Amino acid sequence: MKTTRRQFIKISGLGAGSLALATPTFNLLSGKQKPQDDIKSKRYPNYCEICFWNCAGWVYTNEEGKIWKIIGHDDDPNSNGRFCPRGTGGVGSYYDDDRLKTPLIRYTKEDGSQDYREATWDEALDLIATKVSEIKNKYGAESIALFNHGSAGKHFTHLFRAMGSSNIAAPANAQCKTPRENAFKLTFGHELHSPEPLDIQNADCMVLIGSHLGENMHNGQVQEMSMLIERGGTIITVDPRYSVVASKSKIWLPIKPSTDIALLLAWINVIINENRYDKEYIEKHAHGFNELKEYIQPFTPEWASLITTLDPTQIVLAAREMAAAAPAVIVHPGRHVTWYGDDTQRLRAVAILNALLGSWGRKGGFFFSSSASVGKHPAYKVPYPKPKWSWMDIRPGDFPLANTGITNVLVDGSHPDYTGENKIKAWFVVGSNLPVSIPNKQRTLEAMDNMEFIVVVDTMPMEITSYADVVLPEATYLERYDILRLAENRYPTVALRMPAAEPRWESKPGWWMAKQLGDRMGLNQYFAFESYEEVLEAELSKLGVTLEQMKEIGVLKLERPYDDAYMHEGDEIEFETPTGKIELLSTELAALGFDPFPKYTAHAEPPAGYYYLNYGRVPMHTFSRTSNNPNLSDLKKEHDVWINPIVANDWGIKNGQYIWLQNQAGVISDFPVKVRVTERIRWDSVFLPHGFGHNNPKLSRAHGKGVSDTQLISNVMHDPINGSTGMRLNFVTFLTEDPRKETEA
């Protein structure tokens, strides 16, 4: 076995023994609409960090001052006072005894093996400041990359900008929504952002393509979907699996995986050829309709039927349902849309379909969000130095529309096989479990092995922590001040996060770590504050509200400055596209040499005995980060792989049996997974909820429970438009005997 410089260290036992734009219209009573449950309890405002929806709520402590429960805030448009199970179970992130407890420093023992030792904060921070300064002097600040996720990442982003590096990436983009953001920008001149501005509560029809709302708990959208159901609205679901929302749909289209573009083109064909599009809207606002009409002619429902395996009559009926509801119809843009490497084109088809239905900027379709703006503390007004190069120069010429740092491009620039000039030499990883959150784990590990220095900031001993030189334990969101949440939504809000309890063990807030490092590296002017309360006070002062007032109200609800949530009749609208119109024909894609209209491409199919690996969510977990949360683990400790009864019968596999999965490249899962034999899945596919199969034993609840889909996603299709990573062209087969036991024998 090859020895690596960077040995995987299990963090074991260590530390266990140590202990606006608008006028504020708020009044101080608006946050107090709920009666206190118990006069002995106290409550502190916060916004949830368990997922990116960042719902605002109250953290209650009990009479002993210990964290008790978390409840949504009624003034919060993301949650409307109701948290999802993850937010309610967020208390477990505080109580998890497996948390990182002290700073840890990697060292080499006399026998050459490596381990971590506990360190003081001063020791750990001094070491990081020294090493980072060395690397900066030798290779430039640009050679240090930041991977981040969530609120804490913002503090380290500030540190990196101050240092002179813009090599900053979040797997939340190229592994998630970049194709969608590009496609909507290209078509409507507008990205969608988060939460997506979908007017589901006023829609009469919603079309979900591979999106399983209700199993992914995008809180506000799940709530509004329920309102749509209540009103008798139509849901159309396209999914190879009989998802929960498929069971609530008027039409469920059990599509063959990877053929969605064919279906979308057929829908466009029907809506144009049956004259069901919004003629006035298209005439007034769209560019390229005649060209689209000509282009779309071959793509009939019958053509799509042969590709998608769907009944052509059903395809037509679904298109008519959408058109009947227009413009109060939403063809949902999805969120994690990086599937097959031609995802931007698929999302372009979704955008075009919405344009034809006239749903953009219309009631019951897509509304325009509004968000608050706050002031700046002087430390955040100091200009940042200009980096000499950035992630865009690592693979120059590739991925012209990449709009944010691409995680996998930074991995490329870190990998030993990279021959370009712009090499990455060190990593900071903040709240992002890279070996599990981005595909092609082996390549990530090789890149990490090539780094001169790695710092990991996390609350939990995630797998990534085992590759760090220094590990810093972060306080959970329930124990810290943080950036203000300025969510985009129907109306602007500002939400405060403040500690409801002291940080456990030696954990510290992200802002404090960034400041300590900045101060040590001579970047004091960027961190010229004593406490984060000072920063918050300065930011809030622009809105005429104090931090003390925010502690009382939690959420500051503002009014929209203009009546501009929807387009108005007769408005002259200039869209932020090259033609100033909604671009059915994308002039920008054409100019870059890409197809100006979406094109269906046939993708690889599973070889005999293999099945499409379809992955997705369960409602009580977020990614791989909550699997060890005591409360959420209690709701679901392990996942199962869904197999159709016909397939199970062929294999002689029984419900509840444990099997191993092997992908098309021979990668075998580390652990076995329980089988769920169910009619709810196609016979050419399996379904595997994401986020399980952790291999760090220090995650005492999550370790060894199930299979990491990421491990089996070794085939990655890069979207040439923006570099996002398509992950759904991986196939698995079943091993009923322990494969590792066999090799030992």
Partner 1 sequence: MRYGMVIDTIKCVGCTDCVVACQTENNVPLGYARDWVVEAVVGTYPELHLEIRTERCNHCIDTPCVRTCPTGASHIIEGGIVKVTANECIGCGACIESCPYDARYVHPNGYVDKCTFCDHRVANGQDPACVSVCPTYCMHFGDLDDPNSEVSKLLATRNSKVLAPEAGTKPQIFYLI
Question: What single-letter amino acid sits at 408?
Answer: N
Of 14, 100, 152, 222, the one binding partner 1 (CB under 8 A) is 222
Cβ nearer to partner 1, comparing 528 with 635: 635
Could you tell me which stretch among 107-115, 458-466, 664-672, 676-684 binds partner 1 (CB under 8 A)? Answer: 676-684
Of 634, 656, 665, 739, the one binding partner 1 (CB under 8 A) is 634
| Angle in degrees, CA 617, 618, 620, rounded to 5 | 130
Could you tell me which stretch among 158-166, 345-353, 602-610, 672-680 binds partner 1 (CB under 8 A)? Answer: 672-680
Q: Provide the token pair at 561.
A: 């400055």
Give min distance, CB of 543 to partner 1, in A.
29
**Strand 725-726 versus strand 717-718 pairing type:** antiparallel
Of 206, 207, 620, 643, the one binding partner 1 (CB under 8 A) is 620
Give min distance, CB of 347 to partner 1, in A.
25
Give min distance, CB of 618 to partner 1, in A.
9
Cβ nearer to partner 1, comparing 702 with 713: 702
Long-range CB contact pairs, 175-178, < 8 A, 24+: 175/336, 175/338, 175/407, 175/437, 175/438, 175/439, 175/724, 175/725, 175/727, 176/335, 176/336, 176/337, 176/338, 177/335, 177/336, 177/337, 178/338, 178/402, 178/403, 178/404, 178/719, 178/722, 178/723, 178/724
Cβ nearer to partner 1, comparing 64 with 737: 64
**Residue 169: what are its φ and ψ, rounded to 5°?**
-140, 155
| Angle in degrees, CA 689, 691, 695, rounded to 5 | 125
233 lines the binding site for partner 1 (CB under 8 A) = no
Cβ nearer to partner 1, comparing 82 with 177: 82
Tokens 């990279």 map to which residue?
418
Q: Which of 239, 233, 306, 294 is nearest to 268 (CA)?
A: 294
Instruction: Give the whole-angstrom CA distance, residue 399 versus residue 410.
Output: 13
Of 15, 31, 77, 85, the one binding partner 1 (CB under 8 A) is 85
Give min distance, CB of 724 to partner 1, in A.
28
Of 679, 737, 742, 744, the one binding partner 1 (CB under 8 A) is 679
Could you tell me which stretch among 356-364, 475-483, 544-552, 673-681 binds partner 1 (CB under 8 A)? Answer: 673-681
Contact flags string 53-82 toward partner 1, x per CB under 8 A: ---------------xxxxx---------x
Residue 406 C-alpha from the chain's centroid: 14
Q: Which of 431, 476, 479 is nearest to 457 (CA)?
A: 431
Give min distance, CB of 62 to partner 1, in A.
9
Of 84, 183, 261, 470, the one binding partner 1 (CB under 8 A) is 84
Q: Tell me, by CB under 8 A, how many residues bind partner 1.
A: 48
Give min distance, CB of 555 to partner 1, in A.
17
CB atoms within 10 A of CB 248: 16
Q: Which residues 580-619 are close enough to bind partner 1 by CB under 8 A? A: 619
**Strand 555-557 versus strand 493-495 pairing type:** antiparallel
Which H/E stretch holds residue 363? none
Give min distance, CB of 216 to partner 1, in A.
10
Cβ neighbours for 698, distance < 8 A, ≥ 6 positions apart: 10, 11, 12, 98, 461
| Angle in degrees, CA 391, 393, 395, rounded to 5 | 90
Contact flags string 90-109 toward partner 1, x per CB under 8 A: -x------------------
CB atoms within 10 A of CB 724: 33
Q: Which residues 20-39 are close enough to bind partner 1 by CB under 8 A? A: 35, 37
Cβ neighbours for 302, distance < 8 A, ≥ 6 positions apart: 312
First to last CA, the chain: 19
**Residue 720: what are its φ and ψ, rounded to 5°?**
-65, -20
Of 102, 157, 219, 344, the one binding partner 1 (CB under 8 A) is 219
Residue 475 C-alpha from the chain's centroid: 21
Instruction: Give the whole-angstrom CA distance, residue 612 versus residue 174.
Output: 22
Give min distance, CB of 437 to partner 1, in A.
23
Q: Which residues 489-528 are close enough to bind partner 1 by CB under 8 A? A: none
The partner residues of 703 in beta bridges, in order of sequence, read 694
Of 7, 41, 226, 373, the one binding partner 1 (CB under 8 A) is 226
Of 682, 698, 705, 728, the one binding partner 1 (CB under 8 A) is 682
**Strand 582-583 versus strand 673-677 pairing type:** unpaired
Q: Which of 329, 373, 371 is nearest to 490 (CA)?
A: 371
How much helix, strand and coil, in percent to the nearest 5, is found in the chain?
35, 15, 50
Of 210, 214, 518, 693, the one binding partner 1 (CB under 8 A) is 214
Cβ nearer to partner 1, comparing 122 with 634: 634
Cβ nearer to partner 1, comparing 35 with 593: 35
Cβ nearer to partner 1, comparing 64 with 502: 64
Instruction: Give the whole-angstrom CA distance, residue 419 versus residue 427.
Output: 19
217 lines the binding site for partner 1 (CB under 8 A) = yes
121-139 helix and 510-520 helix, angle to the nearest 10 degrees: 60
Give min distance, CB of 91 to partner 1, in A.
6
Could you tell me which stretch among 173-181, 248-256, 324-332, 423-431 binds partner 1 (CB under 8 A)? Answer: 248-256
Cβ nearer to partner 1, comparing 127 with 501: 501
Could you tell me which stretch among 197-205, 210-218, 384-392, 441-449 binds partner 1 (CB under 8 A)? Answer: 210-218
Of 252, 340, 366, 427, the one binding partner 1 (CB under 8 A) is 252
Residue 544 C-alpha from the chain's centroid: 33
Q: Which of 88, 616, 82, 93 is nearest to 339 (CA)?
A: 616
635 lines the binding site for partner 1 (CB under 8 A) = yes
Cβ nearer to partner 1, comparing 252 with 526: 252
**Residue 203: what are its φ and ψ, rounded to 5°?**
-80, 150
Cβ atoms of residues 507 and 479 within 8 Å: yes
Of 680, 700, 703, 735, the one binding partner 1 (CB under 8 A) is 680
Cβ nearer to partner 1, comparing 40 with 279: 40
Cβ nearer to partner 1, comparing 179 with 233: 233
Q: Is 573 helix (H, G, I), strand (E, B) or coil?
A: coil
Could you tell me which stretch among 132-140, 194-202, 224-232, 317-325 binds partner 1 (CB under 8 A)? Answer: 224-232
Q: Which residues 164-183 are close enough to bind partner 1 by CB under 8 A? A: none
- Interface residues with partner 1 (CB under 8 A) are 35, 37, 68-72, 82-85, 88-89, 91, 213-215, 217, 219, 222-223, 225-227, 229-230, 242, 244-245, 247-248, 252, 254, 619-620, 630-632, 634-636, 644, 678-683
